[in-house]
Each structure stands twice: as C-alpha cells, then as structure tokens.
Structure 1
Amino acid sequence: MHTLILSISFSVVVSIFLKLARAGKIQVDQAIAVNYATAAALSVWLLRPPLDTLFEQPPAVWLILGLLGVLLPTVFLVMAAAVRRAGIVRSDTAQRLSLILPILAAFLVFHEVLSGRKAFGIALALCALACLLARPRANGARLPARAMAHQEEPQESAARGWAVLLGVWAGYGCIDILFKQMARIGAGFTGSLLLSFVLAGLLMCLWLLFRRTRWDARSLASGILLGGLNFGNIYFYIRAHQTFPDNPTLVFAAMNIGVISIGTLVGAGVFRERLSPLNMLGIGLALGAIVLLFPR
C-alpha cells in the first residue's frame, strides 16, 4: 500500500509545482522537456536497467513505448490548449473523469472479476469524484454589465473547446492503461520506463525547437525538480500496479480519487481555496470507496 501512497504524494506535489509555476513565471513547456531528461537520468542511476539489452524489447513492448512516448508530451500540450480554450476547471474535470476509461479496461482488458463489493466501491468512487469536482458558482447578479460582457467570450471558447477536452479525457485515460500494461512486463519494466522517458523528452524538445522557443534558465532549472517528482510519481504508480496485479481498479481509483482529495485539502489549507460541504462529503466518500476496493 505504501507504493500507492507514495505515488499519490508525488502526484500532489507535482500539481502544487505546476500551480506555483504560473505565479513564478516559469515556462512550463521548457520545464517539462528537462523533466523527461531528469527522469531518464534517475532511471539509469537508481533503477540500473540493463543497458546492453535496452533495445532488445518485444514488438508488443515497443508498441507500448511508442504510444507512451507520443502521449506523454502530447497530452501535456492538449491540456495546455484545453486550459486556454475551456478553462482550468473544465480541463481538470476532463482529466479526472478519465478514470472511467481505466476502470472499464480493468474488466474488459485485464479481466478483473467484478464483484458486488467492487461495483459498489466504483459507484462510490464516481460519486466522490462528482462531489470533489463541484465548485461553487460565482454570483453573476453582482457583476456589472461590462464584466458580464467580458465573461461571454471565455464561455463561448469553452463551448468550442469540446474537442480538446475530449483529447484530455482520452489521453490521460490511455496513459493510465499503458502504465498498467508496462507494470505487467515485470522486472524488465525498468528499461521500458527509461526508453519512454527518453522518447517523450526527444519529442518535447523537437516541439520546442520547431516553435523556436527562447530558452529561459530559470524554467530549465525548475525542470530538474519537476523531473524528480514526476519520476517518483510514475515509478511508484507502476510499482503499485505490481503490488496489486489482480486489482487494477483499486490502483486506478485510489490514484485519481486520492490525488484530487488531498489536492482539495491542500488547496483549502495552503492556497485558501473555498471548500464546500459537498467537497467534504466527496472526501468521505472517497475514503469509503478505497476501503471497499481494497482486497480483503
């Protein structure tokens, strides 16, 4: 269980980093590129994958690596586009609702047995997700006409951004499924993890070069910290799947629900974000869902 707790903790800290990065004027795309290089270096240093046989992977593994290498940086870019077009709240909601895809895959692809206890736990998890994502609406009646006029454009942009929101939803869901597939490789996953980081980093750097990015030293340096956090998040996430090989639903649900529950508490305690009674109910439901999904 400690692997799952560590993965959730690293993921929450990554979210805090990204939140602070905006205020610190850090170019997140540059930090993301360095993040993959740092994660690759940590993979070599800490995991010590067999470099002499690194490229001797079965065709099925190369398919997983290729998809991860493309999806990891691409979903980041799609997420950035979704935030611009549809706003942070809708984009974050699409990311969290991606939980539906790996849960379906747990039964359709990984052949997990659906019991009544698990079915109730999944239903409880989805209810918790809905409660946690609920945010109080601002009172539009108190806004002057000029402010209301300025709000119309973002709302219209959000309506046109359904395609990128769908990309966020499908992209994050597919990445979760692919990491579960990587966990099934066994001891050979260390080399596969290294290759996925290298490929994602190369594609991200090519994207930045194509855009003729003006490099920022502070943003590049911050990518080292982000890489360490992201490495811990992904490594322990895969280890959690290996710890519970017959219960992928637990890992999928606990990861998503755990991250947003702790993130909600951190947002309220550190960033003074408003926490509604519905959000508190969501945290309680999330704990109940994890207890039900946890194997006896």
Structure 2
Amino acid sequence: MFYLVASILLSSYLVLSFKIVAKLNLNIFQVIVFNYIACVITGSLFNGNFPVSSSSIGENWFGWALFMGVLFISLFNVVGLTTRHTNVAVASVAYKLSLVIPFVFSIYLYKEEAGFLKIIGIAVALAAVLLTCWPSEKANNKTGSNSRLKIILPLILFVGSGLLDTMIKYVEHQFLNDSNKNDYLVTAFLSAAVIGILLLSFQFATSQQKFSWKALLMGIGIGIPNYFSIWCLVQVLKQYSSNSSAIIPVNNMGIVLFSTLVAWIVFREKLSPLNWIGVLLSLAAIALIAYG
C-alpha cells in the first residue's frame, strides 16, 4: 500500500509541476531534458553505481528500455503542452483516461479475472475522467483558438499513456527482478535523456533558445520524484503481480483525483458542477475496482 500511495503522490506532483513551469514561463522542453538527466543521476546514486554498460545491450529488456525512453520524453512534452493550453484537470485526466488499455491487456495476456464490480468500476472510471475534464464555458472561450489542440493532445496522451502502462507491466512481468529493475529504469531514462540532449543541443547551436538556470533547477526538482514515481509503480506491480488489472486503474484514478483537488486548492482552478460529479465518481470507481 505504501508504494501505491507514493506512486500516486509522486505522479500527481509531476502533473502539477507543469502548472508551475507554465506560470514561470519556462521552456517546457528544456525542463524536461534536465529532468531526465536528473533521473539518470538519481537512479545511479540510488543504485550505488551507474548500472548501464556495454553488457546491457545483450539484456532481453534493453530494447524495451530504449522504446520506453522514447515514450517518456514524448509523453512528458505532450503533458506539458496540454497543461499549458488547458489546465491540470484536463492534463491529468487525459493522461490517465487510458487506464482501460492496460486493463484489457491484463485480462487478455495474464488471464486475470474481471468480476462484475471491477467491470462496473472501469465504466464508472471512464465516466469520471470525462466529467472531471469536461471544460467549462469560460474555459472554452478562453482557449477557443486552440480547439484542435484540446482534442489532439488528450488523444495522444490516451494512446501513449496506455501503451506505456501496458509496456511497464509487460516488461516487469517478463524480464524484471530485484537485481535488474534499477538497471532497466536508468537505461530507459538515459534513452530519454540522450534524445533530449541531442535535440536541445541542436536548438542551442541554432539559437532557437538559450540556456536557463531556472529550467535546470526546475528539471532537477521534477527529475528526482519522477524517477521514484516509476520505481514505486514497478514495486506496486511486483507486489500485486496477479491483480494488475485493478492496481493500474486505481493508481491512475488516484492521480486524477489528487491532482485535480490540489489544482483546485493551490492554483484556484475552477471546477464546474460536472467536474465535481467526476471527482465523486472517481472515489466510487476506485472502491469498485479495488474490491471488485
């Protein structure tokens, strides 16, 4: 239970941090690249050494780690853009609306049981996330010029996040154990960092943007909890290996619920009556899935 709560809190912090990035008017991509560099350093210090070497290439999880790194940096950019163009509720909900994808794969690949209450819980969860991110009329007027982005960005998050959660579960189930899980995570973060460094170096060289110390510090502030959010998720999946069809939705709904409430309290984001109904349905969905 500790790792599940930690995963929810840390992942919620990541979504909320992009609101701060937007308020400080920092370059999102620069922050994200520094975040992944911080992830690699954090994982290496936590492991006691830099776990990636030439021998890692021969590991059966290596290709998955590289692909995971590509998804990491791509989705983080989309989360940041979604937060900037809409609000935290939309970003967190769209990011986690994909809970249905790993749920279906868990039932199909691992033959997990899906009781009546669990299926009802998934249906309630989908309704909850839609209502929670349903834009108010004021929000629609404010971002009318970006109406296409408001559809495209959440759609990308839906597919990408679903693939990422499914892949994390698959790799954890097939290849990872206590001796190599940190190697895998650091390799994935290193993959994301290398891609980011190459792109950012090109932008610096062509004067598309300038180095920002604030972006560096913000990247570090995001990177450390980012590493442990994924580490805790892997721990949760190990702990509840036979019930991932429930754990991933509960984790995702917890992130939606917590980040939305914090955004309402701290950033004074407006929640409509429909949004509040979505929040209440989130609680019901978590209970149904957890005990279904």
Bin of the TM-score, shorter chain as denominator length: 0.7 to 0.9
Q: Quote how far apart the aligned CAs of 1:132 are.
A: 1.6
1:186 to 177, 194, 201: 177
Q: Does residue 275 in structure 1 map to residue 271 in structure 2?
A: yes
For residues 93 and 252 of structure 1, the distance between their equivalents in structure 2, rounded to whole angstroms, comes to 14
Are the structure 2 counterparts of residues 109 and 59 from structure 1 closer, same or farther at C-alpha, using a change threshold of 3 Å? farther
Q: For 1:50 and 1:33, how far apart are their aligned partners in 2?
A: 19
> Could you tell me which residue of structure 1 aligns to residue 227 of structure 2?
231
Equivalent residues of 1:183, 1:239 under 8 A apart = no
TM-score relative to the length of structure 2: 0.85
Work out whether residues 49 and 190 of structure 1, in 8 Å CA contact, stay in contact via their aligned partners in 2.
Answer: no
Q: Which amino acid aligns with 1:196?
A: A
Offset at residue 49 of structure 1 (A)? 6.7
Structure 1: state its 5+ residue gaps: 141-147
Map 1:51-66; keep pairs closer than 5 Å: 51=51, 55-56=55-56, 60-66=60-66
Counterpart residue number, 2:284: 288
Counterpart residue identity of residue 73, structure 1: I
Does residue 41 in structure 1 map to residue 67 in structure 2?
A: no
Q: Match of 1:256?
A: 252
| Equivalenced residues, count | 284
- Counterpart CA distance in 1 for 2:290 and 2:154 is 31
Letter in 2 for 1:174: L
How do 1:1-296 and structure 2 match up within 5 A? 1-48=1-48, 51=51, 55-56=55-56, 60-79=60-79, 87=86, 94-138=94-138, 153-155=145-147, 157-158=148-149, 162=152, 165-184=154-173, 185-187=176-178, 188-212=180-204, 213-294=209-290
2:25, 2:271 → 1: CA distance? 27
1:239–1:165 distance in 2 versus 1, CA, 3 Å: same
**Counterparts of 1:293 and 1:139 in 2: how far apart (Å)?**
31
- Mapped partners of 1:118, 1:278: distance in 2: 24
CA contact (8 A) 1:75 1:171 kept: yes
SS in 2 for 1:274: coil
* Residue identity in the other structure for 1:107: I
Question: Is the Cα contact below 8 Å between 1:182 and 1:238 reproduced in 2?
Answer: no
Aligned-partner residue type, residue 186 of structure 1: N
Identity %: 24
Shift of 1:268: 1.8
